[in-house]
Structure 1
Amino acid sequence: MVEIIRNPSCPVLTLRIRQKTTVEDTKKYLSEISNNLKTKDSFGLLFDFSNGHIQRERGVLKLENEWFKGYRRSFKNQCFGVAMVTNSFLTLNIWKNIAACLAKRTFGCEVGIFDCRSDAQMWLMDRYLLPQNTKN
């Protein structure tokens, strides 16, 4: 299940991911990101994995990869950062740097991995307030 949280006064789209992500969930949140890209406004993306790690239904990864092939350039130009929140000890303490590097390659923008949502939100707002030429 993916809950999409949009605050009209904040340029950050939050995706709270609980349990296994389905193909339908993925289509829904990719559509929401596509709508953000159409506005040409900059935005941040916060993935909140409340159960600690990513669980995907078969076909989700393929759908995400196909979407990013088509939208990578616009996403890179408009997204000022992607924050991921997890309580996974392995991700936070062992895989954090590798995961951030791989995610940066996927998303094309800066990626931060955090253990609490407030730190992730502050990091994203700091990225949003940076002068445009220093974001990537």
Structure 2
Amino acid sequence: MPLPLKKALISTIECYNAGIYSAAAVSGRRTLEGIFKYLLPEGKRNGPLHKLIEEATAAKDLSGPLKTLSHAIRTGGNLGAHFDEEHEPDENVARQMVELLNYLVSYLYVLPAQISQLEADLGKNKT
């Protein structure tokens, strides 16, 4: 993670932890802007956030890491499922697989529900 992006994320978390929720929301948006700027080449990092999101998602295959993660977990599972005298999963491999499975489940199931809830809450705040 680029250092400026890490600093922006820490600032967002600090605002939230301090109970300054408006600042946390603004800082969170700023962090999001940084995320998408770093996904683009330097010459394309200007413009409003909505355009940065559209350009970054069009230019970069965001599903690639998900596919790689899924295959890595599958390969680790194969290591455990099939007998091999020379290769078997150890504690480190098993821990990594559990952690990555947790991230995958969160991404595929928890995150969509949380996004829907945020959208619903944002709709309530407009009235």
TM-score (structure 1 length as normaliser): 0.26
Q: Which has the higher helix share?
A: 2
Bigger relative contact order, structure 1 or 2 (CA pairs below 8 A, ≥6 apart)? 1
> TM-score with structure 2 length normalisation?
0.27
Structure number with higher strand proportion:
1
